Amino acid sequence: MILQSLRDLAVRENLVDDPAFESKAVRWIIALDADGRFLNAYDTSTPETLPEGSKKKPKMQAKLMRIPRRLGRTVGIKSDFLVDNAKYALGLAADPAEAGDPRIQQCHAAFLDLLRSAPQDVPELQTVLTFLSDDAAREACAQNLAAKGGFASNDLFCFQVDGEPLIKIEELQAWWRTQRNEESEGSLPVQCLVCGELRIPARLHNSFQIRGASTSGIPLVSFNANAFEKYGLSGNENAPVCNECMTAYTEALRRLTRAQYETPSGLKLKPLSLVLNGDTTAVYWAEGQSELPSFLSSLNTDPRSVLELLVSPHKGSEFLLNDSSGFYCLIVTGAQGRASVRRLHAGTVGEVAQNLMHFFRAINVDRYDTAEPLPLFRLLGSMVLNGERDRLPPEAATELWLHALFGGRLSRSFLSTIVARNRAERAVSAERAALLHLYFQSLVPRKNTTPDSAVEKERTYPMSLDRESKDPPYLLGRLLAVLENLQTAAQGSNLNRTLVDRTFGAASTRPGVVFPQLMQTAQHHLSKAGRKLPGRATNLDKLLGEIIDGLNLDGFSAVLSLEQQGRFALGYYHQRQTFFRKSDQTVPQASAEPSTDSTEETIA
């Protein structure tokens, strides 16, 4: 299903017009004259174009060229045709420490052998062979390269003779095509599991680059140890895929994951993938013409553009929500020897749009800038120390991403990460409050699964202070926020250590221990504040009364469970937010929300 859909993507976007060739970034062009003398080595790389205002250092990107498809190699020596790295193409090592390694000579010999087996009546080919057999010329080339700052071991090299690149010569291209076809002969046709037809299965699957794997790339399908093989089949016979399907699906994967990709017709495509954290990448695509996938990576930094697409009258709302074309998302991690599919999700574009609307609504917690949706990187950063995403629990980023796209319940370990962070920082940030909302909202079963029933009433957790709530943990959270405010009223706002700094952890886990004591201090704070700011003190006293009333004072609960700690944090956050606002202002809740939520009903 996944491979089929990837193959269809390659067909739809016309990624493979000739399976014997591919588009690859080639950094160096070795220019020779007609007699095989070395002229120059050109570096084709240019700094990437970054969006305006970006402070990132631009990466150097080599020029994309259409080259004979590389075969992919493992530990053995196997040369590619016409274009390869320095070891093979020139017999030079990138690292001076390796210079004397006899293996380099073997690699280079393999490259020469392949060139010699090509038709010899091409004069340009002879010129290159002359050059490569001339040690002095090669030495000149090496010095030229060193003067240009050296090269990396995986930089690709190609040749041009008298201004004519070898890869463009038709005789050589034609020979390469026949060569490719001959290779697969000699084995028997088997039913291909992608197209279902009887074809000769590919022996080796092409590789693609992904985080966590070696930089030269890894295949998605591989059987690299005999414990993985079954029914007496060996290697890729275990998953028979014909050469055409294999080329197509791998090309689609490359198109989705590469930062720069150019189709054979010269169309530049943006990647449809997002690195979630560490070695985990989300790869996604849609079957129709929908624009949604190309916007999804903006969830990370610029979610506003996604929201705008969703609610825009011409492209979004009705149009997107009713789109029933397929949408796929793979969570892939790079590993030794192969890419491993951690999760796979399939749905429709309409469902994803619907879920994203829910997501935006659920994270739109009361805060100072409700008009601007919270980006994924801030949400994830709030779950770890100093916002270092490498410290995230491995599944957290994946879980948040998949929840935004596909809905479903969030796990308790997700909740416990947020709660633990609240305790460690003794504060509830807007991002964490948003995540807590998202968690509690994810537990509420969704009624409106189809776009038409969006008008159906849906129970939601309130985004801002809920005065009606009688939920003890929520009230305790509110109480703590009021006590904190009372302390500031009594002792001024530049305290080194407020009572929240001292007690947040204990108050949110074992309120029975802390609150009786806090209530005593509150009396002192009240009388002191009463002298300094009588108006404010009266208001806070009233608020205290209101909350204590709700708690109906059968003592403070001894221990709060994980969920209760989450609700405690929300109560604290909501109450605290109200202090930042003038009393006559109403909560600006509906401002940034999509239109469909006008009929929400609130539960305590």
Contact positions vs another protein (CB under 8 A): 1-4, 188-191, 193-194, 196-198, 220-233, 237-241, 335, 338, 340-344
CB of 227 to another protein, least distance (A): 5
Pairing status of strand 190-191 against strand 21-26: unpaired
CA–CA dist 595, 174 (Å, integer): 59
Which of 210/220 has CB closer to another protein? 220
Which of 104/339 has CB closer to another protein? 339
Which of 21/328 has CB closer to another protein? 328
Question: Containing H/E element for 159?
Answer: strand 156-161
Place of tokens 């994810």: 442
Which of 235/588 has CB closer to another protein? 235
CA–CA dist 311, 21 (Å, integer): 42
For residues 349 and 324, the answer to whether their CB atoms sit within 8 Å is yes
CA–CA dist 106, 96 (Å, integer): 17
Which of 333/564 has CB closer to another protein? 333
CB of 1 to another protein, least distance (A): 4
Instruction: State the amino acid at position 347 in one-letter form.
Output: G
Which of 14/191 has CB closer to another protein? 191
CB of 402 to another protein, least distance (A): 11
Q: What is the DSSP letter of 427?
A: S
CB of 250 to another protein, least distance (A): 12
Q: Select from 562, 278, 271 the least CA-distant residue to 397.
A: 278
CB of 582 to another protein, least distance (A): 49
- DSSP for 269-334 reads E---EEEEETTEEEEEEESSS-SHHHHHGGGTT-HHHHHHHHH-TTTSHHHHHT--SEEEEEEEEE
Which of 75/188 has CB closer to another protein? 188
CA–CA dist 280, 330 (Å, integer): 10
CA–CA dist 187, 8 (Å, integer): 26
For residues 16 and 258, the answer to whether their CB atoms sit within 8 Å is no
Which of 177/343 has CB closer to another protein? 343
CB of 195 to another protein, least distance (A): 8
